[in-house]
Amino acid sequence: AQSVTQLDSQVPVFEEAPVELRCNYSSSVSVYLFWYVQYPNQGLQLLLKYLSGSTLVKGINGFEAEFNKSQTSFHLRKPSVHISDTAEYFCAVFSGGYQKVTFGIGTKLQVIP
């Protein structure tokens, strides 16, 4: 089976401060990893993804994530957040053996002016 754990349900951070949203996964086979963002009253959209190659992945809006196979993690980072980054962020994993995408429960990022 595969699973995704997002360790923080809510993360408040001041504007222009750095942020890290944590994601850990479990799977017995190789995986693809995703971060999606959901702005208030909108659907989910892809922020970034790791399929293969470089473990540091850059996405839209200045976000990046690093795939760490030994720690089974895919944490999302941004060096300086903006008010507009206030949203809910979902980590997701797909593994070939399971043939399905599994989402974490989401982390609400609240940027404080």
Partner 1 sequence: GAGVSQSPSNKVTEKGKDVELRCDPISGHTALYWYRQSLGQGLEFLIYFQGNSAPDKSGLPSDRFSAERTGGSVSTLTIQRTQQEDSAVYLCASSHSTDTQYFGPGTRLTVL
Residues lying near partner 1 in the complex (CB under 8 A): 32, 34, 36, 42-46, 49, 51, 90, 92, 94, 96, 99-106
Q: Which is nearer to partner 1, 59 or 64 (CB)?
A: 59
Enumerate residues 6+ apart whose C-beta is below 8 A from 21.
Answer: 6, 8, 11, 75, 76, 77, 89, 91, 107, 109
Nearer to partner 1, 14 or 39 (CB): 39
- Cβ distance to partner 1 smaller for residue 1 or 70: 1
Minimum distance, C-beta of residue 111 to partner 1, in the bound complex (Å):
21
To partner 1, the closest distance from the beta carbon of 101 in angstroms equals 6
Residue 66: CB minimum distance to partner 1, A: 19
* Distances 23 to 5, 20, 47, 112, 113 between C-alpha atoms, Å: 6, 10, 14, 22, 26
The SS3 of residue 62 is helix
83: closest CA among 8, 10, 3, 17? 17
Cα 80 from Cα 105, distance rounded (Å): 24
Nearer to partner 1 by Cβ, of 86 and 101: the residue is: 101
Shortest distance, position 106 Cβ to partner 1, whole Å: 5
